[in-house]
Amino acid sequence: MISKVIEELEDPSLHLPRILCLHGGGTNAKIFRTQCRVLRAHLKSAFRLCFADAPFYSQAGPDVTSVYKEYGPFRRWLRWKPEHPEIEAATAVRCIEKSLETAMREDDMKGATGEWVGLLGFSQGAKMAASLLFRQQVREEKLGRHGVGTNFRFGILLAGRGPLVSLDPELVMTPSLVDAAHLGFQIFPDRRRKEHVLRLPTVHVHGMRDQGLNLHRQLLEQYCEEGSTRLVEWDGHHRVPIETKVVTAIVKHILAVAQGAGVLAT
């Protein structure tokens, strides 16, 4: 009992609800933790953020080496270039799951006890976060609550783009989704169909100077149910915001979504 009290005094976040954080392609957990330093500071009284490393090695992502050249090795969740080695979808999913399980288990070993309640991702990590939420949703619909395995309540998607990745293609696979082995897709979603739509609450953050803005809007408008989303637009490029005014707006939406999901008291 005494040792537990000492641990919590040393790290007061150990008991807080946890958010699993997924870095972008061509970076890693250490870099993403640094990129999220202002966001972490604003959330530290409400959530514990845990950062996972993607399973596959990669060249550095755009603009990464200008600041984080010495922070390698760099990693990715999915293929995004033709030169990335081909892999079977089922193998890719197993590797992704192992990486997530490792990060969560290591956080448990540090003494953290909070429930895993959310996912936060940037760029490719945002695509993966949304896809994990979508898998949870599909599993609950088709297998029941006992067959889900996770209980994430919301997602925070920073500069995330479609399409969603079907991590359980045997349960759901439509032309609007891709599996974990593919680079991308050519078929835009049929707005009349809903099999590909994520209904769990999400907070979207879009940089208005980001070259991928149209694709980020596609994820919001075509892959997320209307009424389930919140949007923060800011005057920035493809990066994690660190400006106090922007981060404050993001945190306001995160706390509101968490309260609506019953994670935090109102």
Instruction: Supply the residues annotated as catalytic.
Output: 123, 210, 238
- Can you read off the two tokens belonging to residue 244? 């106090």
- Do the beta carbons of residue 132 and residue 152 sit within 8 Å? yes
Measured at the alpha carbon of residue 115, what is the angle toward residues 113 and 119, in degrees to the nearest 5? 125
- Do the beta carbons of residue 77 and residue 70 sit within 8 Å? no
How far from 195 is each of 137, 183, 199, 259, CA to CA, in Å?
11, 21, 11, 27
- Can you read off the two tokens belonging to residue 151? 């209980």
Quote the longest CA-to-CA distance of the chain.
58
- Can you read off the two tokens belonging to residue 108? 């448990």
* Side-chain-side CA neighbours of residue 257 (13 Å): 25
- Cβ neighbours for 136, distance < 8 A, ≥ 6 positions apart: 148, 149, 150, 151, 152, 200
